[in-house]
Amino acid sequence: MNVQFQMRSVDVLHVDDDADARETIGTAIAYDPIFNVRSCASGEEALAATAKWSPDLILLDLNMPGMDGPTTLMRLRERSQTAGVPVIFVTAATNTRELDQLRRLGIAGIIAKPFDPTSLCSQINGLLCKSHRELEKERSELQEKLAVANAIIDSSEDAVVAKDLSGTILSWNAAAERLFQFRPSEIIGRSIHVHIPPEQLTHDDYILDQVRQGRTIDNLETKRLRKDGTAIDVSLRATPIRRPNGTIIGASIVERDISRQKHIEAVFRKTNSSLEQEVAARTSELQTIINAIPSMIAYWDRDLRCRFANSAYLEWFGWAPEKLVGCHIRTLLGETLFAKNHPYMRAALSGIRQNFERTLVKADGSIGYTWANYLPHRNESGEVIGFFVLVTDVTEMREAQRRIKESEDRYRILADNSSDLIIQLDRDLLLRYVSPACRDILGVDESELLGKQPYGPIHPEHVEQLQAALNSLLAGEVEQSSISIRAHDRGGRWIWLEAVMRPLRDLESGKIDGIVGALRDVSARKAAEERFRLVVESTPTAMVMIDRSGLISLVNRQTERLFGYDRDELLRQRIELMMPSGERHGHQAHIDRYFASPAPLDSSQRAMGPGRDLYGRRKDGSEFPVEIGLTPINTDEGVMVLGAVVDITLRKQAEEERRQFNERLEQQVAQRTAELEIANKELDDFAYAASHDLKAPLRVIDNASKWLEEDLAPHLTGENRMNMQLLRGRVRRLEKLLDDLLQFSRVGRDTAGTEVISGAELMDNVLVLVMPPASFDVIVGAGFGSIQVFRMPLQQIMMNLISNAIKHHDKAAGRIEITVEDRGSHHAFAVKDDGPGIPPQFHDRVFKMFQTLKPRDQVEGSGMGLAIVRKQIELSGGSISIESAEGRGTTFRFTLRTPNSAKERER
């Protein structure tokens, strides 16, 4: 019996705006009799063609004028006759992001341009087979899931309803029938509004709006109608229903009856409200009475937890009622006070009333004194179940006692422990009190001075000054007198004392009946002031000190030499005398602002007039640039400001010369940059024109050879056909060479590549683009999972190195290992293969342009790949090296900066 098999033909729609591409693909597919091809020049034509005809396969170009490839795909999938037709994109795009976006559209595959026409049919068949297997697998899994889902839905106690986006009911499970009394045949195909009360229709609009946006709604409480028209309370969950491609086509609604729960809640709320109102009224009355009592009242149970506290108690401790009630007394009092009061608590809980005084810390941190009473509370059987606390604040009484005591002791304690010499004189100017500090300051005991006038130790030159000050105080002419005097100690050494004295008045009459004074040893400060004066005088920098009013109180020799004035001409003059006339107006305002907020006394000098050019004016009227540092100084007369004035004439001249030099240098750099930009533009134009102009005749040669081979097919020998293939191979090699030359010229000037992705994502993209043969194992190190990298140029570098390892391998199967090491500022990569290896003498040669180690008839390539790799790495700030020996495989090692270090370098 003769059995014949007839294979069904495949109708193919090819959409491409390039006529050459349509012709090339049409010719290539025509070799396989199973394919019937129909071509369209645009997406619009494709839509028109498929209106009455449904293809089995669509080949779609990516970039077309008007309606591009993705838009055409979307429009085709909107139609039922083309929604499930497999689509293969035929594109020259190499951008990984674009390719990823295409794959996410659910296409059957991608064929990259340029392609080998002889292998086009096999690529299409392979992609269709893969797509068919995946589709069958998904259909099988979907059927299994659907069977399980239907079983679960039918066994559910909740009503499960499916509806489309218009609100039409699509499914109705058994629980929905029991709950709402509609049989499936009575409601499927009808609007969902049939069992929704009119006042709840806005809920359904909201549900559909959320579902259309892909959102899920949980626990929405609403009402639904039964078949008899009664409304019941339900809680529902709504989730979107999607097609396999993600398109939302409807909503799944799960509804649960909560009518009984709602009824119980209503009854409970009504009962609870009534009880709460009654309790609140009684509690309010009692609370008002107790809160009106000024004493602190609280109640603590046997577990020492608070059950009640009045307003006075809460205010004392600063606690809110809801915080204190239920709180343990240990938490309120703290460990220390709790330990003190615990014996009284135990006694009260044993039935014995307790009374005691206690010091407490108030909420504001102040100390309070209280009188506490713990009163046991017994139940009907006489058992103590808690105790009342009644606390009376006696702080004011204790404070009054404390102030009286302090008023008696304060001055004695202060005087006895002061490091200053405290004295008290009566109206006869006899010493009635001398503090113990006289032993440290004068070296004598206070008993040696009591009952005497204070002039004994005073230097003769200052006795008259001291007498005048004391007499002015006794006469009531001044309320305070401050003088500096010298006195001798027991050893005869003269020391400086600073005396501050005030009159003493009788508390009842207000009359002056004595004088109190404090004398401080300021000898060290006087010595320091002298040393300061000598340092200022000898410094090589001009120094000027002014007071708050701008008057000059100190200058040194260098100031005289720099400004041309004698010292007597500057002292007690205003600082504006040394300034240009244009700067004098308003200078006092600057002085006032500085004295209002001077630099810290321990800080370094603070620059005057930041951002402004300052000038000084000599006695002869000439002006010169200066730099002034300001330092606040504490003196006997108050805070003064010491200014250090530096003549910066030479520095200004040097800065001007440097500025002029920088301007000339910037002009030269700008000129060189412009010339370089013009040269780069010309190089780009030349490279593009050369590539484009040379590729055009190459395409003509390629097409002409195909036509000749077709026209002369009956007359060609096997050798002739081989020569034709060799010719087209040379054409493809030259096109690849032109592309690589153009790419090599652009390395380092392409602004792309700043996108940062994970190392794992980058290697996934590289392996998808390279598509290594199944016989090759490509091992990606775990280090890629924890790093972030720039997508470009690393992706192109990895593609070149992996492709080279496969292309130049001496066996049909092989192993390639890719590893990375994070070294902080850079990543160290390695690509290792087990191929034939490269002899050491050729290690430098492989990175040069147009260099191959094998004849190009044996290995297809332009000889530019590693040259492009090295240029990209070096321009990115990295380096590359090779480790290899003949017969031992090859390892390429290279480094690239990490994204973080690259950003730091840019800053």
CA torsion 545→550→551→556, rounded to 10°? Answer: 20
The mean predicted confidence, pLDDT, of the chain is 81
> Rounded to an integer, what distance in angstroms lies between the CA atom of residue 867 and that of residue 849?
6
DSSP helix/strand/coil, 321: helix
| Lowest-pLDDT range of 255-269, 324-338, 383-397, 682-696 | 682-696
Count other C-beta atoms under 10 Å from residue 543's C-beta: 20
With cut-offs at 50, 70 and 90, classify the pLDDT of residue 6: very low
List all residues 6 or more positions away from 299 whose beta carbon is below 8 Å from its beta carbon: 306, 307, 308, 309, 377, 386, 387, 388, 389
Share of the chain above pLDDT 70, in %: 84
Flag whether pLDDT at 294 surpasses 50. yes
Give the separation between CA 310 and CA 287, rounded to whole angstroms: 7
566 vs 669, higher pLDDT: 566
Residue 582 has a CB neighbour count (10 Å cut-off) of 9
Q: What is the pLDDT, as a whole number, of residue 528? A: 76
User: pLDDT digit string (tens) for 513-532?
Assistant: 899 888 888 887 778 777 88
pLDDT for residue 856: 45
Q: Identify the residue with better confidence: 419 or 461.
A: 461
- Look up the pTM and report it: 0.29
CA distances from 858 to 807, 810, 853 (A): 10, 11, 10
Q: Name which of 208-222, 279-293, 426-440, 762-776 the model is least confident about.
A: 279-293
Reading phi first (left if > 0) and then psi (alpha if -120 to 50, else beta), residue 748 is in: left
Three-state DSSP class for 730? helix
pLDDT at res. 620: 92
Between residues 8 and 289, which one has the greater pLDDT? 289
Question: Which of 340-354, 451-465, 578-592, 830-844 has the highest average model confidence (pLDDT)?
Answer: 340-354
At residue 624, the pLDDT reads 92
Which spans in 358-507 are helix H?
395-417, 438-441, 460-474
Question: What does the block give as tokens for 661?
Answer: 């030099």
Whether pLDDT at 858 is above 60: no
906 falls in which pLDDT band (50, 70, 90)?
low
* pLDDT tens column, 413-429: 766 777 788 888 998 99
List 551's β-bridge partners, or say none. Answer: 574
> Count of alpha carbons within 13 Å of 636, Cβ hemisphere only?
14
pLDDT in tens, 103-131: 777 787 888 887 777 777 777 877 777 76
Q: So what's the pLDDT on residue 377?
A: 94
For residue 76, what pLDDT is reported? 85
pLDDT at residue 894 in the model: 93
The 10s digit of each residue's pLDDT in 69-104 is 888 888 887 776 787 788 888 887 767 787 777 777
Higher-confidence residue of 533 and 320: namely 320
Q: CA separation (Å) from 559 to 50, 570, 857? A: 99, 10, 90
- The length of the chain in residues reads 907
The partner residues of 503 in beta bridges, in order of sequence, read: 515
User: What is the per-residue pLDDT for 762?
Assistant: 86
Judge whether residue 695 has pLDDT over 70: no
Give the full edge-to-edge strand order of the sheet including 367-378. Answer: 306-309, 296-301, 384-393, 367-378, 354-361
Q: What residues contact 576, with CB distance under 8 A and at least 6 apart?
A: 550, 583, 584, 587
Query: 888-898 as b/e, with b when 16 or more CB fall inside 10 Å?
Result: ebbbbebbbbb
Residue 316 and residue 395 in contact, taking contact as beta carbons nearer than 8 Å: no
The predicted structure's pLDDT at residue 605? 45
Identify which of 349-353, 506-510, 698-702, 899-903 has the greatest average pLDDT.
Answer: 349-353
Q: Which range has the worst mean pLDDT, 121-135, 188-202, 652-666? A: 121-135
**Alpha carbons 702 and 28: distance in angstroms, whole number:** 14
Residue 819 to residue 796: CA distance in whole angstroms: 16
Q: Look at residue 750 and tell me whether its pLDDT is greater than 60.
A: no
